[in-house]
Amino acid sequence: MMTHQQASELLAVFALDAVDSHEQELIEAHLADCPRCRAELDAHRDVAAALGNSVEQLPEGLWSSIASRLPPRPAEEPPPMPALLREAPASDERPAKRFHRPRPAALRTSRGRLVSVASLAVAAAAVAAVLAVNLVHANDQVSSLRQATPASAVAALRVPGHKVVDVESARHVELAQFVVVPSGQGYLVRSNLPTLSSAKTYQLWGVIDGRAISLGLLGQDPHGATFTLGGGSSRTATLGITVEPAGGSVVPTGTMLAAGTV
């Protein structure tokens, strides 16, 4: 049994995982009954998370490896992820381990704390549309494309094997030009798209096998954006641009203004 004073003195080191397993158990037992210590621990954990919050490029094939260990989806699951993701190289493959998941009954107690189940289908549908080709990047912005300097686009134009994609209107007027390097990273090189009102945004799409997948928002006045296509994909993608309400849309609601093939 640990006193409040003893536990309190250890919360910061506990948040850093710097206690041994015996102390860890004692602190956890104390935390179960002490909201004050839980609140202080949460504060320390936020700092610990900030300390550890440095993103690295994810290794290729890691998601495939994780996904291969998930059980098959139930029939009512959302549509499967578009097959744009990189396939794991043979060297990255690990033996699949059997993976048992508790039945939903075990989760019921937690669901009340989370967002209403009614939003699930909508959320799942939204992410199905937006995550596909951008999977390899960690970015808190679902909707907006990251900004890139002109130098990034210039550098991309010097990468061997790059492709320049002219996005043209139906009348062959060039509205934007992108460059995509073999790793799948793409950059907006230049744009002739007129500035939209603040209620509207340009949205970039990757169209593969007739299916449009959001690559992100270009904003009302596109410049300096970067995006990621799944590297190593042998599929042909078409880049398309639509005008959407500010905030973007899950599926294109506007006319595909322009398109160019990668």
Partner 1 sequence: MQQLGEVSDAQLVTAVARYSEVALAEVYRRHGGAVYGLARRVLNSPAEAEDVTQEVFLRLWNQPDRFDPGRGTLRSFLLAQSHARAVDAIRSLNARRAREAKDAQRTASAEYDMSHEAWDLALADKVSGALADLPEDERRAIELAYFDGRTYVEVAALLDTPEGTVKSRIRNGMRRMRAALVEAGVQGVDA
> Which region holds residue 232: left if phi is over 0, alpha if psi is between -120 and 50, else beta?
left
H-only helix segments in the chain: 4-15, 21-33, 35-51, 62-68, 108-111, 120-130, 150-157
Shortest CB 183 distance to partner 1, Å: 12
Query: Is residue 45 a contact point for partner 1 (CB under 8 A)?
Result: yes
The Cα–Cα gap between 151 and 245 comes to 30
Query: Is residue 49 a contact point for partner 1 (CB under 8 A)?
Result: yes
With CB under 8 A as the contact rule, which of the stretches 25-33, 107-115, 160-168, 231-239 interacts with partner 1? 107-115
Query: Is residue 115 a contact point for partner 1 (CB under 8 A)?
Result: yes
Query: Is residue 67 a contact point for partner 1 (CB under 8 A)?
Result: yes
| β-bridge mates for residue 147, sequence order | 225
Nearer to partner 1, 118 or 173 (CB): 118
In Å, what is the CA distance from 163 to each residue of 12, 181, 183, 209, 262?
A: 51, 6, 11, 20, 7
| Helix orientation angle between 4-15 and 35-51, rounded to the nearest 10 degrees | 20
Query: Is residue 111 a contact point for partner 1 (CB under 8 A)?
Result: yes
Residues numbered 233 to 252 that lie near partner 1 (CB under 8 A) are: 245, 247-250
Shortest CB 57 distance to partner 1, Å: 7
Shortest CB 155 distance to partner 1, Å: 13
Nearer to partner 1, 134 or 177 (CB): 134
Nearer to partner 1, 106 or 173 (CB): 106
